[in-house]
């Protein structure tokens, strides 16, 4: 019985895979991945952990130590999508495009575009990250 169920599942997966190939779907693209959160790479996650520890060492409040690294995750995802492999020389165009992207983003709390003070906070956080990396 179990072997029969396993065989049915395998056939079902093969059929779905065949249907996807016939439809031209071979992988999930950002357009098709609505609701799927992008993830930062392992090396960026390690960098954020070190940044978080550094913030604590230099005396930032516990709430900032938790929130500032989280605020950088969309930046790292932007770098990854822009195929930036190293943080040593991030082109200014990439930072500008990230800033433009932020300006179009809506607040999760109010549903309105991010305020200038929030945008400035993101820029301060990027400068703080630069100080950490130096």
Contact 37, 28 (CB under 8 A): no
Nearest Cα to Cα of residue 101 among 38, 43, 32: 38
Q: How confident is the model at residue 5 (pLDDT cuts 50, 70, 90)?
A: very low
Query: Domain ranges in the chain?
Result: 1-35, 37-133
Contact 122, 69 (CB under 8 A): no
pLDDT at 38 exceeding the cut of 50: yes
Name the phi and psi angles at 28, rounded to 5. -85, 120
24: left (phi over 0), alpha (psi -120 to 50) or beta: left
**Residue 89 confidence (pLDDT):** 82
- pLDDT tens for 57-115 read 999 999 999 999 999 999 988 988 898 888 888 889 999 999 999 999 998 889 999 99
């Amino acid at each position: 019985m179990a072997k029969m169920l396993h065989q049915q599942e395998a056939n079902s997966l093969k059929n779905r895979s065949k249907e996807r190939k016939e439809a031209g779907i071979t992988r999930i693209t950002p357009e098709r991945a609505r609701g799927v959160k992008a993830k930062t790479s392992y090396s960026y996650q390690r960098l954020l952990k070190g940044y978080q520890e550094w913030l604590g060492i230099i005396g930032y409040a516990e709430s900032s130590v938790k929130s500032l690294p989280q605020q950088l995750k969309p930046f790292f995802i932007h770098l990854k999508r822009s195929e930036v492999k190293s943080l040593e020389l991030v082109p200014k165009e990439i930072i500008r495009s990230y800033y433009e992207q932020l300006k179009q983003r809506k607040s999760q709390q109010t549903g309105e575009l991010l305020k200038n003070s929030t945008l400035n906070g993101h820029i301060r956080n990027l400068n703080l990250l630069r100080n950490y990396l130096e």
